[in-house]
Amino acid sequence: MKDLIGISSKTYEIYEKVLPKISEEFKQIDNICEYNNAKMMNAFFDCHVSETHFNMTTGYGYNDLGRDVVEEVFAHIFRAEKALVRTQFVSGSHTLCKTFFALLRPNDLLLSITGTPYDTLHEVIGIKSNPSSLKSFGINYDEIALVNDDFDYDKIADYVKKHQVKVIEIQRSKGYSTRKSLSIVKLEKVCKLIKQISPETIIMVDNCYCEFVSEKEPIEVGADIVVGSLIKNLGGGLANNGGYVVGSKELIDLVGESLTLPGEGADVGPSLGANKLFLQGIFMAPTIVANALKTSVLASAMLEELGYMVSPLYNEEKVDIVLTIGFGNEKALIDFCKGIQSGSPIDSYVSPVPVSTPGYTDKVIMAAGTFVQGSSIELSCDGPIREPYIAYLQGGLTYDTGKIGILKAIDRLISDD
């Protein structure tokens, strides 16, 4: 392998050195994968998935049996009353946006309890001025920062007692921040706290990058509505686009009417040939997520060996598929991303450069030689060009190919030292 992919003996020696200590982590990942595959298969059994459901609709999308079964499968897996799984969602951020607008009305209060949300939501909420933001429609916003990578339980409790909060938003993954992602155990604790004080407050969870990493999902621990993208974990590398929302029937019906139009909601929206890909994607997702986690563990162990700051460490609890790597300087960040691109199946000969990107304040470098544009369940690495110059690594459809990408990226770092 070393000679075929063209890496140095030094890189391969580091790889061989870390293999013994990551084997136990791989066993734990396999155990969770086995459980989630059983959960997924049980959904297919109970929902009576058939070849008939691969058929597509066009136009209005009335009576799309396959689309309805896809949504039954997602609801079953998440232990939710209802799901909305659509190609009409263009990204995870779009899915979050439509959910915000479905749940909130003028003078309502939206509270983030995980600090400032991900960059692409700033104009959605109105943190950054935009005439189409929630703020422009008279919706109020506030936020409570995390404390030591955990919820500020006392401050949250005090705030919810004093204010009528319509929706509490929780972003589990770290986004472009330096904090740790939030475990299902911490999520359960804060959900119980909120519901004890204000049962009517809607708890909305941004679950991007976290699906199938643990044995439980947010609905099972008290969340009311959960949102995610299909070009991340649950698409299994097969979904070409789309997003999902799961939760109570009442809330999902509101999101359906926000996505399409009042009175028709989830009854319209053609599948356009996506049903088979959505079903194959969710079928593959537990195994693909496990491969991504193994790729992350290998990268974490090797980069730690080289002295880089990584989170999570190879032997820490995994909450999502994202690994943050602190480079401390712009050149190392860019070099590593270029190495990931060179180890990708698509556009391996292309060299990524930092560019201005819609939704982001700083220039961003994105390495993603992926079959689906921007798919972050496939091996990819990106980061804003700002101090402290952190890269965000995620994905890997198979461990063996993800490993090649990691080895080539690290080899580039070593060769530049």
**Residues 289, 272 share a domain:** no
Residue 47 placed within a domain: no
Q: So what's the pLDDT on residue 228?
A: 97
Residue 44 is assigned to a structural domain of this protein? no
Claim to verify: residue 287 and residue 264 sit in the same structural domain: no
Note the pLDDT tens digit of each residue in 154-194: 999 999 999 999 999 999 999 888 899 999 999 999 999 99
Give the span between the Cα atoms of 284 and 380, in whole angstroms: 19
Q: State the pLDDT at residue 66.
A: 97
262 found inside a domain: yes
CATH number of 33's domain: 3.90.1150.60
Q: Are residues 362 and 277 in the same domain?
A: no
Task: Provide the CB-side half-sphere exposure for 227 (13 A, CA).
Answer: 24
Q: Is 414 exposed, middle or buried (0-12, 13-18, 19+ CB in 10 A)?
A: middle
Contacts of 309 (CB under 8 A, 6+ apart): 325, 326
396 is a domain residue: yes
pLDDT at position 417: 55
Tell me which of 248, 263, 282 is where a domain ends: 282
The per-residue pLDDT for 176 is 87
Does 326 lie in the same domain as 260?
no
Task: Give the per-residue SS3 of 304-327.
Answer: HHCCCEEECCCCCCCCCCCEEEEC
Residues 231 and 289 both lie in one domain: no
Taking 80 as the threshold, does the pLDDT of residue 416 lie above it?
Answer: no
CATH of the domain at 208: 3.40.640.10
Tens digits of residue pLDDT in 219-268: 999 999 999 999 999 999 999 999 999 999 999 999 999 999 999 999 99
pLDDT at res. 361: 81
Residue 177 confidence (pLDDT): 87
Same structural domain, 248 and 342: no
- Given pLDDT bands bounded at 50, 70 and 90, which one contains residue 302? very high
pTM given for the model: 0.95
Residues 277 and 291 placed together within one structural domain of the fold: no
- Whether residues 265 and 332 share a domain: the answer is no
Q: Per residue in 80-117, pLDDT tens?
A: 999 999 999 999 999 999 999 999 999 999 999 999 99
| Contact between residue 333 and residue 391 where contact means Cβ atoms under 8 Å apart | yes
Query: Does the residue 375 lie in any domain?
Result: yes
Residue ending a domain, choose from 220, 250, 282: 282
Q: Would you say how long the chain is, in residues?
A: 417
**Domain shared by 14 and 76, yes or no:** no
Q: Is residue 104 part of a domain?
A: yes
**pLDDT at residue 358, rounded to an integer:** 80
Query: Alpha-carbon distance 320 to 393, whole Å?
Result: 11
Structural domain contains residue 309: yes
| Residue 66, domain extent | 52-282
Taking Cα atoms as reference points, which of 115, 131, 252 lies closest to residue 170?
Answer: 115
Q: Are residues 234 and 324 in the same domain?
A: no
SS3 170: strand
Domain count, the chain: 2
Same domain for 132 and 77? yes
**Which of 222, 250, 282 finishes a domain?**
282
Query: Does 145 lie in the same domain as 66?
Result: yes
179 SS3 class? coil
Pairwise CA distance, residues 196 & 157, whole Å: 9
333-359 residue pLDDT tens: 999 999 999 999 999 999 999 998 887
Q: Per the domain annotation, does 354 fall within a domain?
A: yes
